[in-house]
Amino acid sequence: MEDDELDISELLNKYEQMRAHGKKMYLDADEFSMLIEYYFSIGDLEEADNLTKEGLAMHPGSQQLMLIKAKELVDGQYFQEALNYIDSISDDGDIDIPLLKIECLIHLDMKDEAEAIIDDLFERELTVDQLYTIDIEIGFIYNDVDEYDKAVPYLEDSLKIDSNNTEVLNDLSYAYEMLSNFPKAIEFNNHLLDIDPYSFESWVNLGKLYSMSGEYGKAVDAFDFALTINEGDVNALKLKALAMCLNGNAEDAILIFEECLKETPDDMSLYDSLLVSYEALKEYDQMFKVINMKEAHLGSKGILMKRAWVYILEKQIEKAKELFDQIPESERETYDYYCLEGELAIHEENYIDAEKAYMKAALLSEDNENVLNRLSIICVSLGKLEEAADYLEQLFKLDPNFPDVKNRLAFVRFEIGNKEAFDKTMEMLSDDDLRNMLELIDPESKDKIAILNRESLLIRLDEARENRLLFKNNKY
């Protein structure tokens, strides 16, 4: 340690003795700062705050202590109070003060003012370390307010200086996940695994990302790696089983879910996952058994709706309606209730009431893929094709791999007939998708269609669009 460096251990010992004996001692601003930083690092925020107040009482003009107080206000999310206080602190070319201002302004939704300060910062003569700090801090701030598209450029710029900052890589992976850019999220998560191949959290996150991108086989492999590091982790096992179910292996998924259920019998999600798995296998008797187990462990809330749903799957609509009418008032303004109401209306071909029910469900679960899917089907039945196309486009943006979403959107665009929208939809389809659609229109020309190139396929399909042939020959 240099002679002019403060010894935190010695300083802390002196301060603790002074406090134990109820004595006061003079500390300079640097000593106060070191003690505040120490207590903050061990999570004793109350002592850190007391030291800040005491330090400012002793050194009211200390820029160092004033900056600490400003940071404490920001950490406490007192953004307006912090902004007012920061205005009393001299900048003196220090980047900490404008960064605190930027954070306050962004959280107060004063984005233009924040951008002006950001522009001013980058016009300064900055050291590499200052530039690095600015990029990281602004990126973190934008991530905190869910403006991921703005966070990404700053965080990526910081990697040009240090490509192995794990905190930045984590935030970038998360930002791209929130932007539904799963390949980029996976890329940065893999970088984390290059740095630490034995990170349980990174392997679990990789599995989640592969699941969200529809690559369920890779997701299962990632969860297997995680489970070699932390064998028996129930959360990782649940996620692995869910990926297996989505990958068409419901039988083995069920075995894992049942093992998890023995460990955590009060975990509601496990019962729901088992129901999804048994539904995939059309084992409705097993679904009823799971519902009975759930009722025994977690009570009767929502149970009538679960049973009614299984009766719908079994096409026993009258039994489903009988249970639906028994649902208590306290459970009726819920997502599950409105979906059940919508399905019953669809089975009665009462599409107006079905639409109303699913619209209510949509209000309770924004961007829900199942709701968008059902609304698109209902709108087609009502002849509201433009609205059906809107729902399908929303669904496609959320999940391009949702079953048949591209082909169904193409069906609707055929019937609407607008060429510009039709051409845009055709761009989504592969050559095989285009051939399949032409074969639906003209099954007898299957052999000729098989040898057509993409340009010829599009010309034939556009002719079919003009003549509205697809809906005439096929159902949606």
pLDDT digits (tens, 9 = 90+) for 189-244: 999 999 999 999 999 999 999 999 889 999 999 999 999 999 989 999 999 999 99
Residue 470: predicted pLDDT: 46
CA distance 286 to 174: 38
Answer whether residue 403 shows pLDDT above 80.
no
162-165 long-range contacts, Cβ below 8 Å, gap at least 24? 162/132, 163/191, 164/195, 165/136
The pLDDT of residue 214: 87
Q: Would you place residue 344 in the very low, low, confident or very high pLDDT band (cuts 50, 70, 90)? A: very high
Q: What is the mean pLDDT of residues 19-39?
A: 78
Q: What is the pLDDT of residue 475?
A: 43
- The reported pLDDT for the residue numbered 467 is 63
- Answer whether residue 465 shows pLDDT above 70: no
Mean pLDDT for 85-111 is 84
pLDDT at 355 > cutoff 80: yes
pLDDT of 418 reads: 62
Contact 280, 245 (CB under 8 A): yes
Residues 32-90 have pLDDT tens digits of 888 888 887 788 878 878 888 887 777 877 777 777 887 887 788 888 988 887 877 77
Please tell me the total number of residues recorded for the chain in this structure. Answer: 476
pLDDT above 90: percentage of residues in the chain: 57
Contact (CB, 8 A) for 344 and 351: no
- State yes or no: pLDDT of 450 exceeds 70: yes
Distance (Å, whole) CA 136 – CA 114? 16
By mean pLDDT, which of 1-10, 108-117, 159-168, 221-230 is the weakest? Answer: 1-10
Distance CA 152, CA 168 (A): 10
Give this prediction's pTM: 0.74
Q: Please check the confidence at residue 1 and state whether its pLDDT lies above 50.
A: no
With the C-alpha atoms ordered 463, 465, 470, 472, is the resulting torsion angle positive or negative?
negative
Residue 21 pLDDT greater than 90, yes or no = no
